[in-house]
Structure 1
Amino acid sequence: MNELKKRKLRFILLEHDAVLPERDMIWFGSEVETARFRNEGKAIAVSIENIIEAVDKAVRLLRGITQVNRLYFGIDPGPRPGIAWLADGAVLGVAQLEHIEHVSGHISAIASTLDFKHMVVRIGDGAPLIRDRIINDCLTHSIELEQVNESKTSRGLLRHNHVVSAIRIALLSGKRVIEFRTVQPTEGDLREIQRQSRKLSNGRNTISTELAYDVATGKCSLEQATNENYSSS
């Protein structure tokens, strides 16, 4: 229900043996339920593991999208990156991820559930340190992507509206990224990570510059670095 609410999709709850109010209604159920009543309405099997994919399928059915020529992904880089996925320009879904390491896996998981001819992944050019780490992770997982001029995506937006920026990024052509990036944090990057460590520990701890460097280059997470028992060795 939370995913449906996040996407502002109207829904009703039915008892497991209730009759569908409309013959062509889209409904969710377990694999057993959808197999048993597969001829009633438009059944979508859902479990804890595939909630986003199941709701994506419902959105496609609602919009009459049966075939996808181009599947677009837009990534707005940041500590909690925004990501959007579109089918031939129609928004299927958006999300704000908790960790930058989750981006490539999120893209692969969504793409694996869709039938499409071409996939285009685009990332904004802001937050260079995080952007380059995401680029490297995507390239490591054989995900080709383009870098987009992010200044064109943030006009008229509230600050930190990452998911809307991600939609705009997905729709803009960019320059294809071919090579891995060298991740070299600046002193400002390290100070910002140290500031985040103070915030995460409620002011009790500020990690060292060495640990901040490990966080910046992806050797460890900020949560790991703020753990007093963590060692960078």
Structure 2
Amino acid sequence: MIVVATDDFELYHEAVAELRERGVTFTTVRPDGELPDQTRVVVSAPTDGLSFDDVVHVVVAAEDARHGVEEALAALRSSDGRTVVGVDPGPRPGIAVLVGDVVVAAFHVPIADAVDVIRREIADAPDALVRVGDGDRLQSAKLINQLQEARVEMVDETGTTPYLGTGVRGMGDVLAAVNIARLEGEAVQSRDIEPTAGELQRIKNESRERSSDNRTIDETLARRVASGELTVDEALATHRNGTDGPDGAGADGEADDEPDT
């Protein structure tokens, strides 16, 4: 059983809310109180000054309560407690966070937010591992190249997206990320991708769709988007400000009003 033993009201509130949301059996005691016989994990704050030799002790600040509860649950289930983040890349990547064999968090966010989410989830996790699917070449390369500080594996994501029954549309990317997290991949530090003409055209088309003034970025900017150096919105702003040309002017200085072919 998990015991929350703290005088930190904020940690108490956050930890209890997290445990209740997960349907976990737990109890609470004062830091100077006696632990129940069934205690296997104690959660407390650094300010409580507690120390235990015979149970797992998770010391966590209130703002990291969710990660503390995840660590407690991993210990309770006798897993190895390793954090593995699976990513199904795309314009809105599915992200699944596993501690041992347990899925503790899931996200479905725009690609621009994905790296920040992943970094936050692995920030305090020892020996964390990020596994990125290889299906979307450009988006997976962007993610891998921006996660230089993390241990990253690239995973063959063939067959990782499950059949989706009625009522679960939109969950495919997240469920694929769970499966990717559970597959061994190849350790990588970077991924160099030469975008195809079709991929560059899709980026240019997206820029026109996102532009408020019917503007299409040029191929140079599209390549910078493909490499992850710029987002589409940043490329549009660069094109609009005319700062991408060789002499400080834009490639044509004007919006590209003719449709791309």
Please tell me the TM-score bracket, short chain as reference: 0.5 to 0.7
Distance 1:68-1:209 versus aligned 2 partners, 3 A rule: same
The counterpart of 1:225, out of the listed 230, 235, 250, is 235
Task: State the shift of 1:203 in Å.
Answer: 6.9
Q: What does the per-residue CA deviation read over 1:5-64, in whole Å, with 9 as the maximum and x for residues that have no partner?
A: xx9x749xxxxxxxxxx9539xxxxxxxx789999xx997545xxxxx433333554674
Distance 1:144-1:231 versus aligned 2 partners, 3 A rule: same
- Listed as ranges, the gaps of 5+ residues in structure 1 are 1-6, 12-21, 26-33, 48-52
Task: State the shift of 1:74 in Å.
Answer: 0.4
| Equivalent residue, structure 1, for 2:175 | 164
Q: Does residue 78 of structure 2 align to residue 71 of structure 1?
A: no
Task: State the shift of 1:213 in Å.
Answer: 1.6
| Distance in structure 2 (CA, Å) of the matches to 1:43 and 1:147 | 33
Structure number with higher relative contact order (C-alpha < 8 Å, ≥ 6 residues apart): 1
| Equivalent residue, structure 2, for 1:186 | 196
1:27-176 to 2 correspondences below 5 Å: 45-47=61-63, 53-61=64-72, 64=76, 68-100=80-112, 102-103=114-115, 105-114=116-125, 116=126, 118-138=127-147, 140-141=148-149, 143-157=150-164, 158=169, 161-174=172-185, 176=186
Aligned partner letter, 1:165: A
**TM-score, with length taken from structure 1:** 0.67
Distance 1:178-1:59 versus aligned 2 partners, 3 A rule: closer
| Distance in structure 2 (CA, Å) of the matches to 1:179 and 1:72 | 17
| Equivalent residue, structure 1, for 2:41 | none
Count of aligned residue pairs for this structure pair: 198
Show structure 1 runs of 4+ deviating over 6 A.
34-39
When the two chains are superposed, the root-mean-square deviation of aligned CA atoms in Å is 3.6
- Listed as ranges, the gaps of 5+ residues in structure 2 are 1-17, 30-44, 51-57, 246-261
